[in-house]
Amino acid sequence: LVLFSLVEGSRTLETQRTTQTGVALSTLTSSRTPGPVRIAASVAGLSDTVSIQYTVGEASSILMTADSSSLPADGRTTTEVRATVSDAVGNPLPDGTIIRFQASFGDITSTAETQNGVARATYSAKATGLAEITASVGAVSRTITIRLRPGAPNSILLTYDPTSLGVKDSGRNTTLTVTADVRDVQNNPVLDGTRVRFRIYASPGGGEFLSTLEPVPTINGLAHVSLNSGIRSGTVRIQAEVVDGNNFPLNPAIQAVSTDVIVFAGPPFIANVNDRSTSRLSAGPEPVNIYGWHVVNNTTTIVAVLGDKYNNPVPAGTAVYFTTSGGIISTHTGYTDEEGVATVTLHSAQPYPNVPRFYNTFADPNSGHPNFILPSDSIPGPIPDLEFGTIDNSYDNTSQNNGIARVLAVTEGVDANGNSAKVWGVTSVIFSGEIETFYTEVSDTVLSPSESSIITIYIYDGNGNPIVPGSTITLNAESGKLSWSEFKTGDPGKTIYQAALVNNLDPTDPDAKETTISIGVRVESENGTVVTSTVPIQLKLN
């Protein structure tokens, strides 16, 4: 029989065991506390001892703590994270045990050694959100969370959706969303509930408005407001600024002004298809009068100016279609620019314009419109009678002149009801020819001192149309005083020009002599160069 006993240490031991083949076995149950144990065995006056060391078991649990459960996401502020690691019975792991740390985002000490069972790491982050911090050793791990909160507002980025608007009733979108993205110094979205106030910084002044002027709280750093267009095209800019709980701007101010939002004009407009004067398309030539009657390829520029319902220039690139009753018109450039203007070139050529072509080449573009109720689809005149009925046009026994081309400009647009309609306008161009009529008349042929005579000059082509602008009329008188001696004709010009001759002889001048003169008249023009003189005019001394 062998006796076993605990000389040092604690826990339970089988104290009496019999030998089998000279060996006695006793079972020692370990303590929960690490430390040394010494066991004695004795039999028949003989004894011996053996020492055993109770050691810490493998890691079984980790307890994690942090100095702060919430940090500013500035990349500078840190918190200490502690991992207390123990075995199955709660004994701390030996000093120097390596604990690994990981974070879902941000920066953390990757490994640390335990001291008294505790490993320490330092954590910081620049991003906002809920960070998961994990400590692990072997197969054991534990996770805690730390909230990273944004810093104070630092910047605002303004964006739009969509990126442009149309004016009211334009058929385009008239409302867009303005988004203010408010960030801190680390470019993180600011705290929810940060207040942003919007205002219109610049606009065309056509009634544009925001959905609210009250501060809007952010969600995930974003604040939204709606911008509504008015009746004017142009650009709008929005300002956003962060305000405090009393609606005062922060100090320093955090604000931003947007880039331009383009407000596009509406489509070309004609209020009433039965009233041409309600069309927002106006056409005109520059110059009105060209030397073009049976002359090839003299040109004039035809200009069409287009507006929408609210008299804004229509969007650039609006197509305008041109046709003419005389000559050839080039239409490949017939698209509006940013100012709503389209220009094309009219070339003098066959067919040369006459009265029938003026009225019969084209009809009212809206004649097929369901609301068209005019008694005729003919576009009314009259053609100008520039020489006051002297020349008969040989077509309809009227004095309307041949040689005047009508130009029609038309585009697709809408009427007052929003229905599709043709928006159009017409203008006229004079194709003047060679001078065929040129003579003068005087109102008085005998002038006493200080009296005057009116000299009337008649000049026009075979159709009764005036000479082109820029022609020069020169008068020459050897005595007397003319009201003018040289004159440049305007556009479209006239068929009658007048000047005055004053008898400026001084009856008290002993050297003054009565005289008879004729006034020389010379015309230099693309239409020709002609010379004539008036009948004699007597300048008397009494």
Lowest mean pLDDT among 49-53, 182-186, 260-264, 413-417: 49-53
pLDDT computed for residue 12 by the predictor = 82
Q: What is the CATH number of the domain that holds 388?
A: 2.60.40.10
Taking residues 102-118, report their average pLDDT.
97
pLDDT computed for residue 332 by the predictor = 74
Question: pLDDT tens-digit profile of 203-231?
Answer: 999 999 999 999 999 999 999 999 999 99
Question: What sign for the dihedral angle of Cα 181, 183, 188, 191?
Answer: negative
Question: pLDDT tens-digit profile of 429-443?
Answer: 999 999 999 999 999
Q: Nearest to residue 99, comparing CAs of 159, 67, 140?
A: 140
CA distance 331 to 100: 78
Report yes or no on 367 lying in a domain: yes
Print the domain residue range for 15: 2-54
Tokens found for residue 460: 């026009």
Q: Do residues 50 and 111 both lie within one domain? A: no
Cβ-proximal residues to 430 (8 Å cutoff; 6+ apart), any chain = 288, 289, 290, 292, 386, 403, 404, 405, 465, 466, 492
Question: pLDDT tens-digit profile of 61-105?
Answer: 999 999 999 999 999 999 999 999 999 999 999 999 999 999 999
pLDDT computed for residue 322 by the predictor = 97
Taking residues 227-254, report their average pLDDT.
96
Cβ 521 vs Cβ 473: under 8 Å: yes
State the amino acid at position 381 in one-letter form: G
Q: Do residues 9 and 41 both lie within one domain? A: yes
- Number of CB atoms found within 10 A of residue 188's CB: 23
Cβ 89 vs Cβ 57: under 8 Å: yes
CA distance 480 to 500: 10
Task: Judge whether residue 483 has pLDDT over 80.
Answer: yes
Cβ 530 vs Cβ 458: under 8 Å: no
pLDDT classification of 389: cutoffs 50, 70, 90: confident
Q: Do residues 132 and 87 both lie within one domain? A: yes
CA distance 275 to 372: 10
Tokens found for residue 57: 């078991």
CA distance 372 to 206: 32
Report yes or no on 365 lying in a domain: yes
Q: Nearest to residue 89, comparing CAs of 34, 48, 130, 41?
A: 34
Cβ 454 vs Cβ 483: under 8 Å: no
Higher pLDDT, 307 or 37: 307
Angle among Cα 8, 13, 16 to the nearest 5 degrees reads 115
* Order of strands across the sheet that contains 446-447: 446-447, 537-539, 515-517
Report yes or no on 269 lying in a domain: no
Q: Do residues 424 and 287 both lie within one domain? A: yes
pLDDT classification of 175: cutoffs 50, 70, 90: very high
Report yes or no on 80 lying in a domain: yes
Report yes or no on 271 lying in a domain: no
Cβ 534 vs Cβ 440: under 8 Å: yes
Q: Nearest to residue 314, comparing CAs of 331, 339, 344?
A: 339
Longest dimension (CA), the chain: 186
State the amino acid at position 285 in one-letter form: P
* Total number of domains in the chain: 5
For residue 240, the cross-strand partners are: 198, 256
The last residue of a domain, from among 415, 432, 449: 432
Q: Do residues 427 and 479 both lie within one domain? A: no
Report yes or no on 270 lying in a domain: no
* SS3 labels along 234-291: EEEEEEEEEECCCCCECCCCCEEECCCEEEECCCCEECCCCCHHHECEEEEEECCEEE
Question: pLDDT tens-digit profile of 283-303?
Answer: 999 999 999 999 999 999 999
Q: Do residues 179 and 213 both lie within one domain? A: yes
For residue 271, the cross-strand partners are: none
Q: Do residues 9 and 42 both lie within one domain? A: yes
Q: Nearest to residue 216, comparing CAs of 185, 177, 184?
A: 177
Report yes or no on 212 lying in a domain: yes
CA distance 55 to 328: 110
CA distance 387 to 275: 30
CA distance 513 to 523: 31
Burial class (CB in 10 A: 0-12, 13-18, 19+), 488: exposed
Question: pLDDT tens-digit profile of 132-169?
Answer: 999 999 999 999 999 999 999 999 999 999 999 999 98
Taking residues 183-207, report their average pLDDT.
96
pLDDT computed for residue 397 by the predictor = 67
Q: Do residues 296 and 418 both lie within one domain? A: yes
Q: Do residues 256 and 380 both lie within one domain? A: no
Q: Do residues 408 and 324 both lie within one domain? A: yes
pLDDT computed for residue 375 by the predictor = 96
Taking residues 278-282, report their average pLDDT.
98
Q: Do residues 415 and 285 both lie within one domain? A: yes
**Under DSSP, is residue 355 helix (H, G, I), strand (E, B) or coil?**
helix
Cβ 297 vs Cβ 349: under 8 Å: yes
Higher pLDDT, 509 or 381: 509
Question: pLDDT tens-digit profile of 10-58?
Answer: 778 888 898 899 899 988 887 777 878 898 899 988 999 998 887 788 9
Report yes or no on 396 lying in a domain: yes
Cβ 60 vs Cβ 91: under 8 Å: no
- Among 23-27, 394-398, 486-490, the range of highest mean pLDDT: 486-490
Q: Do residues 283 and 406 both lie within one domain? A: yes
Task: Judge whether residue 398 has pLDDT over 80.
Answer: no
Tokens found for residue 137: 């050793």
